[in-house]
């Protein structure tokens, strides 16, 4: 979303997204892992540039036809914990159960609440580092990205195999687009240790420059050069 500036709704017949129109302002919130606890926090805000309909799923997640094209996203330098601000916000009727008021994808709030949240924040245009601490485990996201890249290549490429080093470079670029600041070497190490979990077929070669050590489920390593796409 940070790259495409497009937002949607998970439910195909979402009621919450229907009233949203151009020039509406949106506070973004998510569940972060703060002090090893899942914590609902406000993370930034944006404004709707325009709306349109597209029956295609967005990010393989948002199924509602209505999509929101955003003017841009400004992130809070530090996340604002919702429960710490709950007793000041009009839309939260019971501060002790603040999470109950932040379960829906979209919830209309008044201008006063919007301003109160912004007053608690410092703004940054950069993708904040704390997104790597989402309770959606980063390892799971990388696994999903590996799987997604593999099947994209398998379904669109005429090649029967791809060099593992090339695959890792592509994966690193994809993760960077999602704001995951992992270096090439870090992604390579992750793939080396976890490739066996994906169940891909790997082939070796005689060229030592193409070899990548992949670990088995028992911890044994062996050099491979290609991922088969057949």
Task: Give the pLDDT confidence of 2-19 residue by residue, as tens digits.
Answer: 778 899 999 888 999 999
Contact between 128 and 32 under an 8 Å Cβ cutoff? The reply is no
Is pLDDT of 211 > 90?
yes
For 126-160, the pLDDT digits (tens) are 666 555 444 345 777 888 889 889 988 988 888 99
Q: Which residue pairs, CB below 8 angstroms and at least 24 apart, start in 155-162?
A: 157/229, 159/229, 160/228, 160/229, 160/230, 161/203, 161/226, 161/227, 161/228, 161/229, 161/230, 162/226, 162/227, 162/229
Lowest mean pLDDT among 13-27, 124-138, 179-193: 124-138
**Which pTM was predicted?**
0.56
Residues near 143 by Cβ (< 8 Å), separated by ≥ 6? 194, 197, 198
Contact between 81 and 41 under an 8 Å Cβ cutoff? The reply is yes
> How many Cα atoms occupy the beta-carbon half-sphere of 55 within 13 Å?
0
Name residue, tokens 């036809």: 65
């Amino acid at each position: 979303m940070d790259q495409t500036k497009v937002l949607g709704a998970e439910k195909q017949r979402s009621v919450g997204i229907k009233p949203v129109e151009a020039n509406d302002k949106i506070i973004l919130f998510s569940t972060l892992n703060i002090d090893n606890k899942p914590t609902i926090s406000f993370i930034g805000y944006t404004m709707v540039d325009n709306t349109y309909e597209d029956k295609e799923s967005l990010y393989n997640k948002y199924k509602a036809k209505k999509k929101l094209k955003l003017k841009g996203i400004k992130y809070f330098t530090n996340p604002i914990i919702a429960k710490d601000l709950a007793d000041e916000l009009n839309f939260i009727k019971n501060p002790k159960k603040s999470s109950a008021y932040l379960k829906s994808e979209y919830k209309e709030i008044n201008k006063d609440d919007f301003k109160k949240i912004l007053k608690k924040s410092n703004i940054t245009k950069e993708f904040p580092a704390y997104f790597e601490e989402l309770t959606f485990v980063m390892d799971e996201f990388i696994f999903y990205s590996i799987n997604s890249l593999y099947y994209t290549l398998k379904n669109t490429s005429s090649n029967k195999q791809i060099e593992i080093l090339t695959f890792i470079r592509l994966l690193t670029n994809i993760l960077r687009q999602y704001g995951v600041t992992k270096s090439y070497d870090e992604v390579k190490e992750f793939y080396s240790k976890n490739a066996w979990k994906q169940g891909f077929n790997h082939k070796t070669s005689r060229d030592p420059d193409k070899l990548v050590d992949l670990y088995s489920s028992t911890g044994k390593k062996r050099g491979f050069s290609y991922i088969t796409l057949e």
